[in-house]
Structure 1
Amino acid sequence: MSFNNLDQLYRSVIMDHYKNPRNKGEIDEGAVTIDMNNPTCGDRIHLTLQVEDGIVKDAKFDGEGCSISMSSASMMTQIVKGKTVEEAEELADIFSKMMLGEEFDEDKYDLGDVEALQGVAKFPARIKCATLAWKAMEKGVKAE
């Protein structure tokens, strides 16, 4: 697949998550709640996590922001569900390295749609948009 076709595919995945967010909403009972914002651009996220016995049983988000921020939140909630807290933290570390253009173990986890955000690394001003939900999740699993 050519670079342009791959770039177009990634853009369509990002827009799909933005227009059709997965796990949008709030967990009502027994959830950790994290509210964070990016003062630079105004993105904000309200994340709720249900963690039981060291496993992320459910993750939902709400918020306002750009397509990068909201699609990243959608992707993050999908990939951490069913993972242990340690695995969720590892995924956040891998995502952070991906955003910074650093080496990471691509074989450790199937990143699925999350890989579509790799191109954000080329735009330093947008990295905070992409990482907002992930930082909220890290804060939430540490609070557990």
Structure 2
Amino acid sequence: MHETIYRHNIIDHYRNPRNFGKLKHATHSAGHANVSCGDQVQFQARVEKGRIKELAFTGDGCAVSIAATSMLSEFAKGKALSAIKKLGEEDIEKLLGIPISGARERCAMLGLETLQALEAIA
């Protein structure tokens, strides 16, 4: 029963991703792609005093990739960049609510890898 609820949540985040779009006045950005399947994610953030104040992403990918990135974008707002860098696969599994299988691990982790790579825009 619980897995069904989590799967519905994943589909909802895939069809209606939160924080999707471009962010005006971004101070940080990063982009990554999963070359094996073609998924790609770009994050833009406004960071003040080491904390993510605003966050948006664009990209294209499978349901797991987009849903995990959408959920992560909600979770990351207000968090310190240093805390984001400490997140790992188990944290993404908690957000998704289901275990990540080997075939979908790279898909689920793409958003986190991208967010952890945020750099100041010159």
| Structure 1 unaligned spans of 5+ | 102-110
> Could you say what secondary structure the match of 1:7 adopts?
helix
Q: Is residue 13 of structure 2 the alignment partner of residue 20 of structure 1?
A: no
Conserved in 1, the CA contact under 8 Å of 2:26 and 2:44?
no
Normalising by structure 1, what TM-score? 0.76
State the one-letter code of the partner of 1:129.
C
> Could you say what secondary structure the match of 2:4 adopts?
helix
Aligned structure 1 segments of 4 or more residues deviating by more than 4 angstroms: none
Normalising by structure 2, what TM-score? 0.89
Deviation at residue 115 of structure 1 after TM alignment: 4.0
Conserved in 1, the CA contact under 8 Å of 2:41 and 2:59?
yes
RMSD across aligned C-alpha pairs, in angstroms? Answer: 1.7
Match of 1:138 among 73, 94, 116: 116
> Could you say what secondary structure the match of 1:49 adopts?
strand
Structure 1 residues 115 and 68: CA distance shift in structure 2, 3 A = closer
Q: Relative contact order: is structure 1 or structure 2 higher (C-alpha 8 Å, sep ≥ 6)?
A: 2
1:106 matched residue in structure 2 = none
More helix by share: 1
Identity of aligned residues (%): 28
1:82 matched residue in structure 2 = 78
Match of 2:105 among 108, 111, 127: 127
